[in-house]
């Protein structure tokens, strides 16, 4: 290994231990242990341009072991990204570009937010899949316009998380050969040596997935790591490179121990480490020759210029494809989309179908897909129940382009893979499961909201209306809990029209994810005026009104029909009510105070109706809430609704008591 390689690695170590020490918090051990691996990848293989972090054909780099964020920040700083030393000195401080864990859209060059272990490698599977599908879709003879790798650094913790199994198993099956993961095999976690609780043969595990595995690579030898990466690029399978390392490498007294995992080294040990490394520079000082060795501006600019030239030639021969690729990578919708959505809304009104909203969702997908070549759907083994396929869709297979993914029983993996697809660009991913299994996906949903990316999560079988499958499958708390995730847009439509609007809103939303929640049971169509159809987009609107209204009935999804039935009963008894459909409370809450007051006027008692927990609804100043505050039961849906008091009779009775 050359002396400059050693010096480049030591620069990472110095920056990591100095930044963690100054912040008095952080994880110096991983950056110090993976420094040579970083030199090998970032100086000899990674295709990127610090001057344009969003270049379409750049390699993607994911730091799955995100607690070691100073490794990535050091790399970004040293290679020339817009991350000055002042930001490294501000590590883990308020509003810095160097937060405790890497955050997408905060720091130039960070491809995804990582920290919850296992999700980084899973995002990377999504990125690699997006690359493969885009290449199959857009590349032409003599024009490999999409041709890049996805590299992942990950540790023992990522491999312990069950999501890594879900994602890596699928990656092997789909032969994502441009996915290369480098495992930091240091045998240490915060609790100490991992062998008592993590003793599996990881290499065999990945071989069983269908991965190419390169064993026993010296993670402190730049040439050895570089040769392994070069070999990985020749494989027709995804590759795991097993890099044996010592956590905190360079620290005379703490290397190889858990003491260096999640705490500063301390001034005394840092001084000893500097001496041991021969790093005779003050904190946060990097010699110019080291900067020069690390800087990637010249090479990156040339790589992008070469690609731009190739893309220009591609555009001359395939102008439509070039324009389409640029549109999709920019996240813009086609000119036809809005027209297609508008036409489909009219179709919904004309047909006036009484169907389950899961079927209404499928009909919306079918209608909108022709205007959305970037649609990439899927389901966690429940396609026939979730209804996320459409007539023209094609299954994704190892050697076949497609736009519908059979994720298998991998709800968490599916959701995090979708996030990776969205982050890569070029596709709008959606994936489905039963609503109750959103629990399995929860942290990936949260990450999508945190990153503000366009992932569309489809959840069907949304309540006790599921019926005979019983309380294990019946959602009670799930809708409310999804609404509590900041920046998660949640829709629970009541019929075909609201389902179409929900899909339109999710597709058009560029700054965050959406959860679309649909029923198993049939829901009657509700006639509306054009203005009412337009108002659906506001999340809540007046569906039926009477100038003599004595109360407001608020409902979502299948319970809107109950509100309408109760209103009819009350009318026959001489009691008028206003009915408010609230398909998206999260959207309604963002409207102006004036609009919200016009929908929910002061002075009228409000009664909310939803087949789920009641606590969420009290924030709207309700006089009463009809819901389900226990787990469900196994019985036909109609029986359950009666059992839990979700009937027109009971709702009408409550109104009479409240007015």
| Average pLDDT over every residue of 144-169 | 98
Reported confidence tier of residue 598, pLDDT bands at 50, 70, 90: very high
Identify the pLDDT of residue 639: 96
Identify the pLDDT of residue 610: 98
pLDDT digits (tens, 9 = 90+) for 16-70: 999 999 999 999 999 999 999 999 999 999 999 999 999 999 999 999 999 999 9
Enzyme catalytic residues: 411
| Average pLDDT over every residue of 593-615 | 97
Q: b or e along 356-393 (b: 16 or more beta carbons within 10 Å of the residue's beta carbon)?
A: bbbbbbbbbbbbbbebbebbbbbbbebbeebbbbbeeb
Instruction: Report the sign of the C-alpha dihedral through residues 464, 468, 469, 472, in that order.
Output: positive
Q: At residue 1, does pLDDT exceed 80?
A: no
Question: What stretches of 34-142 show up as alpha helix (H) in DSSP?
Answer: 35-44, 69-79, 85-89, 119-138
d(CA 350, CA 613): 35
pLDDT digits (tens, 9 = 90+) for 245-256: 999 999 999 999
Helix, strand, coil share (%) of the chain residues, nearest 5 = 45, 15, 40
Q: At residue 160, does pLDDT exceed 80?
A: yes
Instruction: Report yes or no: 594 and 500 within 8 Å, Cβ to Cβ.
Output: no
pLDDT digits (tens, 9 = 90+) for 92-122: 999 999 999 999 999 999 999 999 999 999 9
d(CA 619, CA 605): 13
Q: At residue 385, does pLDDT exceed 80?
A: yes
pLDDT digits (tens, 9 = 90+) for 168-213: 999 999 999 999 999 999 999 999 999 999 999 999 999 999 999 9
Q: Which helix (H) or strand (E) holds 634?
A: none
pLDDT digits (tens, 9 = 90+) for 478-535: 999 999 999 999 999 999 999 999 999 999 999 999 999 999 999 999 999 999 999 9
d(CA 272, CA 274): 5
Reported confidence tier of residue 2, pLDDT bands at 50, 70, 90: confident
Nearest to 502 by CA among 562, 442, 462: 462
Instruction: Report the sign of the C-alpha dihedral through residues 342, 347, 350, 351, in that order.
Output: negative
| Average pLDDT over every residue of 221-241 | 98
Reported confidence tier of residue 76, pLDDT bands at 50, 70, 90: very high
| Average pLDDT over every residue of 418-438 | 98
3-class DSSP assignment, residue 148: coil
Stated pTM of the model: 0.98
When the pLDDT of each residue in the chain is averaged and rounded to a whole number, the result is 97
């Amino acid at each position: 290994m050359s002396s400059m390689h050693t010096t480049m690695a030591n620069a990472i170590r110095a920056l990591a231990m100095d930044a963690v020490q100054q912040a008095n918090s952080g994880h110096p051990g991983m950056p110090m242990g993976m420094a040579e691996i970083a030199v090998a990848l970032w100086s000899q293989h990674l295709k990127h341009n610090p001057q344009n972090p969003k270049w379409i054909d750049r390699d993607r780099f994911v730091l799955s072991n995100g607690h070691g964020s100073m490794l990535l920040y050091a790399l970004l700083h040293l290679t020339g990204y817009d991350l000055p030393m002042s930001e490294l000195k501000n590590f883990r401080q308020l509003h810095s570009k160097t937060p405790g864990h890497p955050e997408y859209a905060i720091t130039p060059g960070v491809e995804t937010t990582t920290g919850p272990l296992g999700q980084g490698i899973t995002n990377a599977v999504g990125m690699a899949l997006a690359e493969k599908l885009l290449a199959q879709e857009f590349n032409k003879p003599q024009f490999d316009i999409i041709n890049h790798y996805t590299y992942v650094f990950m540790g023992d913790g990522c491999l312990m998380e069950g999501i890594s199994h879900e994602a890596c198993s699928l990656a092997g099956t789909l032969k994502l050969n441009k996915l290369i993961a480098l495992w930091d095999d240091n045998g240490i976690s915060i609790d100490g040596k991992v062998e008592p609780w993590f003793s599996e043969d990881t290499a065999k595990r990945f071989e069983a997935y269908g991965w190419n595995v390169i064993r026993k690579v010296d993670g402190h030898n730049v040439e050895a790591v570089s040769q392994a990466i070069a070999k990985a690029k020749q494989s027709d399978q995804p590759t795991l490179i097993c890099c044996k390392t010592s956590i905190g490498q360079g620290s005379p007294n703490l290397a190889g121990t858990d003491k260096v995992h999640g705490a500063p080294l301390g001034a005394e040990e840092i001084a000893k480490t500097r001496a041991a490394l021969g790093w005779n520079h003050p904190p946060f000082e990097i010699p110019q020759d080291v900067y020069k060795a690390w800087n990637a501006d010249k090479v990156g600019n040339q790589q992008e210029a070469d690609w731009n030239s190739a893309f220009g030639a591609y555009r001359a021969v395939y102008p439509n494809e070039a324009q389409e690729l640029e549109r999709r990578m920019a996240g813009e919708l086609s000119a036809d989309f809005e027209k297609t959505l508008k036409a489909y809304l009219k179709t919904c009104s004309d047909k006036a179908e009484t169907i389950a909203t899961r079927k209404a969702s499928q009909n919306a997908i079918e209608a909108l897909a022709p205007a959305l070549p970037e649609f990439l759907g899927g389901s966690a083994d429940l396609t026939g129940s979730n209804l996320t396929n459409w007539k023209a869709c094609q299954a994704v297979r190892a050697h076949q382009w497609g736009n519908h993914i059979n994720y298998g029983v991998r709800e968490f993996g599916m959701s995090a893979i979708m996030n990776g697809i969205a982050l890569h660009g070029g596709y709008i991913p959606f994936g489905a499961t039963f609503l109750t299994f959103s629990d399995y996906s929860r942290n990936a949903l949260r990450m999508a909201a945190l990153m503000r990316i366009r992932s569309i999560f489809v959840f069907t079988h949304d309540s006790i209306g599921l019926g005979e499958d019983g309380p294990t499958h019946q959602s009670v708390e799930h809708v409310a809990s999804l609404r509590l995730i900041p920046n998660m847009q949640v829709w629970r439509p009541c019929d075909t029209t609201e389902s179409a609007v929900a899909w339109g809103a999710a597709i058009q939303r560029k700054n965050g994810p959406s959860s679309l929640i649909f029923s198993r049971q049939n829901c009657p169509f509700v006639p509306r005026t054009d203005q009412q159809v337009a108002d659906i987009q506001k999340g809540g609107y007046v569906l039926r009104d009477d100038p003599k209204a004595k109360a407001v009935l608020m409902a979502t999804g299948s319970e809107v029909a109950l509100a309408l039935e109760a209103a009819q009963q009350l009318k026959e008894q001489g009691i008028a009510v206003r009915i408010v459909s609230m398909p998206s409370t999260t959207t309604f809450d963002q409207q102006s105070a004036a609009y919200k007051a016009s929908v929910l006027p002061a002075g009228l008692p409000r009664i909310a109706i939803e087949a789920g927990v009641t606590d969420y609804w009290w924030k709207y100043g309700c006089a009463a809430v009809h819901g389900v505050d226990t787990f469900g039961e196994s019985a036909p849906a109609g029986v359950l609704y009666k059992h839990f008091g979700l009937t027109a009779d009971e709702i009408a009775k409550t109104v009479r008591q409240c007015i």
